[in-house]
């Protein structure tokens, strides 16, 4: 019956979590694989603002009816204000169709299904490299996926001219998947000037920008990290935005995300919203209620919102501190090399340039886990392990 079914090779990121959990070198092992923020004590945090919201949800206990297919109204409002800014014209004009989704991945899936249905000739282009699941999700939705030039290991920057030249070759309604901040996996973002140029090309070539923002607040700040999204809206682009609260609310397992589509008119936004709901209905019917309720409470209460922003910035600052400490520790051990990229890159990830063989040595000899492409989740470092990790990296680089 199933003899024709081919085995699944496993996911390069999530598969590492299992390997790490099964590694019995508990005294030394360090998890720098999956994009998850750990505290200085190596724990997954429960944010204070989330604790307050959850206490409100629990007392008195709330009935758990089905949510609307597109999620709670207060949740959708929170997504829109975070992404596009409070009191902005595009929200007031009703031109944004927003739905709550199962994490950022769910938003990508619903958006990809919608695009495949209504723009059947569209191809999707992702940065080289990108988060592996971008490719899987768009291919899984039936789109052809190609790569556009992005990361330049020679400069630890962006192959900007090549990227722009590539965009010039694309066809109307082709999708370009963009990372507004904290690029995954490289940590290398476009500058504001570069966004201006890229989005002008996107507009002139009538491409569909699909912006995936999973790390809002971990780059500069909540508003600056949304710069590219707001610029796209300012330029009058029809833009898809997938967002995630996994990292910035530390709600990974609750699967809390959103998809927002900015349309040229309110009437089009309403029609798009209807189709997004239908897409949700035929995949999983409606979103889970807990994450929706937490976001609704935290984001729509001024004091809790401020507390949340402050907690995100504390996480951001600890990551920055770890970047600086790792850089200094490595520079001391291998002064002939330049490790300046650790503090240049932004967000949770550092693209270390380590080869798959070096990454394997780190895992096998030192129990230090990172993704085979050399991506390190800096948020897994702390004062107790940073010197150990620096030693291990220095060893495999010698």
Name the residue nearer to ligand LMR (CB basis): 304 or 376. 376
The SS3 assignment for 81 reads helix
Minimum CB–partner distance for residue 123 and ligand LMR (Å): 23
Residue 106 as a binder of ligand LMR (CB under 6 A): the answer is no
184 near ligand LMR (CB under 6 A): yes
- HSE-up of residue 44 (Cα within 13 Å, Cβ side): 11
Catalytic residue among 131, 174, 225, 296: 131
Q: Please indicate whether residue 56 is annotated as part of the active site.
A: no
Pick one of 20, 125, 131, 351: the residue that binds ligand LMR (CB under 6 A). 131
Sorted by sequence, the CB contacts under 8 Å of residue 343 that are 6+ apart come out as: 320, 323, 324, 327
212 is catalytic: yes
Of residues 115, 101, 70, 97, the one with CA closest to residue 270: 97
Residue 272: strand, helix, or coil:
helix
209, β-bridge pairs: 176
Smallest separation (angstroms) from ligand LMR to the CB of 110: 16
Nearer Cβ to ligand LMR (29/203): 29
Alpha carbon separation from 111 to 73, 100, 123, 237, 275 (Å, rounded)? 20, 12, 13, 16, 10
195 a catalytic residue: no
DSSP 77: H
Task: Using alpha carbons, list the distances in angstroms from residue 222 to 184, 186, 214.
Answer: 18, 20, 12
d(CA 255, CA 253) in angstroms, rounded, equals 5
Size of the site for ligand LMR (CB under 6 A): 6
- Closest-by-Cβ residue to ligand LMR is 35
- Distance of closest approach, residue 130 Cβ to ligand LMR, in angstroms: 10
Per CB under 6 A, 219 contacts ligand LMR: no
Candidate list 113, 174, 189, 212, residue with the active-site label = 212
Footprint on residues 18-77 left by ligand LMR (CB under 6 A): 34-35
State the pairing for strand pair 349-351/124-128: unpaired
Q: How far is the CB of 253 from ligand LMR (least distance, A)?
A: 11
Catalytic residues: 131, 212, 247
Footprint of ligand LMR (CB under 6 A): 13, 34-35, 131, 133, 184
């Amino acid at each position: 019956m199933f003899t024709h079914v081919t085995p699944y090779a496993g996911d390069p990121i999530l598969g590492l979590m299992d390997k790490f959990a099964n590694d019995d070198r508990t005294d030394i092992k360090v998890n720098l694989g999956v994009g998850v923020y750990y505290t200085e004590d190596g724990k997954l945090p429960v944010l204070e603002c989330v604790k307050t919201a959850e206490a409100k949800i629990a007392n008195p206990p709330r009935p758990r009816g089905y949510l609307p297919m597109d999620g709670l109204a207060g949740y959708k409002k929170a997504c829109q204000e975070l992404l596009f800014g409070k009191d902005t014209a595009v929200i007031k004009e009703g031109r944004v169709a927003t739905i709550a989704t199962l994490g950022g991945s769910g938003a990508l899936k619903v958006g990809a299904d919608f695009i495949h249905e209504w723009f059947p000739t569209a191809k999707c282009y992702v940065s080289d490299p990108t988060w592996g699941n971008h490719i899987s999700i768009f291919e899984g939705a039936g789109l052809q996926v190609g790569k556009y030039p992005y990361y330049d290991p020679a400069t630890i920057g962006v192959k900007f001219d090549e990227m722009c030249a590539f965009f010039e070759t694309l066809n109307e309604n082709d999708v370009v998947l963009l990372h507004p901040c904290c690029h995954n996996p490289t940590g290398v973002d476009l500058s504001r000037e570069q966004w201006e140029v890229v989005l002008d090309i996107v507009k002139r070539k009538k491409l569909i920008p699909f912006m995936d923002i999973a790390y809002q607040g971990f780059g500069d700040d909540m508003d600056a990290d949304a710069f590219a999204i707001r610029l796209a809206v300012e330029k009058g682009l029809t833009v898809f935005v997938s967002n995630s609260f996994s990292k910035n609310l530390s709600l990974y397992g609750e699967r809390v995300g959103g998809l927002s589509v900015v349309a040229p008119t309110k009437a089009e936004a309403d029609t798009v919203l209807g189709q997004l709901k239908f897409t949700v209905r035929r995949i999983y019917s409606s979103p889970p209620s807990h994450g929706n309720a937490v976001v609704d409470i935290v984001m729509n209460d001024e004091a809790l919102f401020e507390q949340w922003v402050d907690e995100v910035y504390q996480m951001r600052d600890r990551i920055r501190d770890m970047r600086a400490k790792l850089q200094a520790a490595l520079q001391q051990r291998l002064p002939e090399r330049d490790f300046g990229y650790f503090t240049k890159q932004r967000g949770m990830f550092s693209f270390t340039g380590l080869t798959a063989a070096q990454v394997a040595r780190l895992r096998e000899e030192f129990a230090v886990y990172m993704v085979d492409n050399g991506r390190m989740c800096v948020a897994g470092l702390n004062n107790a392990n940073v010197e150990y990790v620096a030693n291990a990296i220095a060893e495999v680089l010698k």
